Amino acid sequence: MKKTPGTPRFRALLATVTLSLGFLFASNLEAQLLLSMDFNSKPSGGSASPTEAGYNGIAINDANFTGPFTTSFSGLSTSLSSGTVGLTIAAGTSLSATGTLLSRDRSTTTADNGSFTYQALYRDFIISKDTTTGLPKMTIGLSGLNASTEYLVTFYAYDNNNSGAISLQNTTGTGSQSGSISWTAGYAFNGANANENAKFSTTLRVQTDTLGNLTFLNTTTSGAGFQSILNGIQVTAVPEPTAIALVIAGCGILFLRRRHRH
């Protein structure tokens, strides 16, 4: 039987198609968190400091060592063609720089309370002691992401023992996105603000190169003049424009249908 507009069967079919589109593309309309990294401090012969819940812990020696530092993460989202994301941290202005790296644990950082739940993330950090290029610098590299694809990359930086500031710049190809983080030593996370976890962070919207790589330059702009720090990184996938367009088209069908009925 032919399904004509206005009949119950046609309306049921339209509702089914619309719901199917919604379920199929809803996940693509939301930013998808792919990877969370927490830099933990590890003393010689001891255990690394705690990892923030929901993060991948990265143990960094608390004694000086020559960079770069590399690690990788597998078993991530099926949306990644490679399945594995690589991380490189170097002390200097390139991923091959061989400056000194180390870590620190500030166990006296305010304990979790109220809306603040990032004590384990903010208590420790990796340090670049690059002193050969003027202001201390740290180069951060991510590999294994999808080629020519947009991501949101969030950086966290805070030192409970020293006031300071850093700038983060996307140096992938011709990227010009940048952000900054500044903090005051001994800041009391009072838990009253729902954004306390993100207080010492900045997020850059960037696009990978044709190999699926991203690079960033972390520069100390004030504070301890010999080091650039980083507590953690999060990588989030940006919704695909095609998925958004399809859902909008589905909404347009509904609108036209309702208009026809009236």
**CA 206/CA 152 separation, integer angstroms:** 6
Query: For 162-206, what is each residue's pLDDT tens digit?
Result: 999 999 999 998 667 999 999 999 999 988 888 999 999 999 999
pLDDT exceeds cutoff 60 at 247: no
pTM of structure? 0.83
**CA 238/CA 32 separation, integer angstroms:** 7
Closest to 35 (Cα-Cα) out of 119, 125, 142? 142
Query: Among 89-103, 141-155, 237-251, where is mean pLDDT lowest?
Result: 237-251
- At 225 the pLDDT is 60
Looking at domain 32-238, which CATH architecture does it have?
Answer: Sandwich (2.60)
- At 254 the pLDDT is 47
- At 191 the pLDDT is 84
**CA 195/CA 156 separation, integer angstroms:** 13
Closest to 177 (Cα-Cα) out of 203, 144, 142, 211? 203
Confidence of residue 261 (pLDDT cuts 50, 70, 90): low
More confident residue, 77 or 231: 231
CA dist list (Å): 26 to 19, 187, 240:
10, 39, 11
Chain centre distance of CA 258 = 42
What residue segments make up the domains of the chain, in order of their start?
Answer: 1-30+241-262, 32-238
Chain centre distance of CA 10 = 45
Over residues 45-62, the mean pLDDT reads: 97
CA dist list (Å): 115 to 160, 196, 262:
19, 7, 49
pLDDT exceeds cutoff 60 at 87: yes
Closest to 161 (Cα-Cα) out of 221, 197, 107? 107
Confidence of residue 6 (pLDDT cuts 50, 70, 90): low
- At 240 the pLDDT is 77
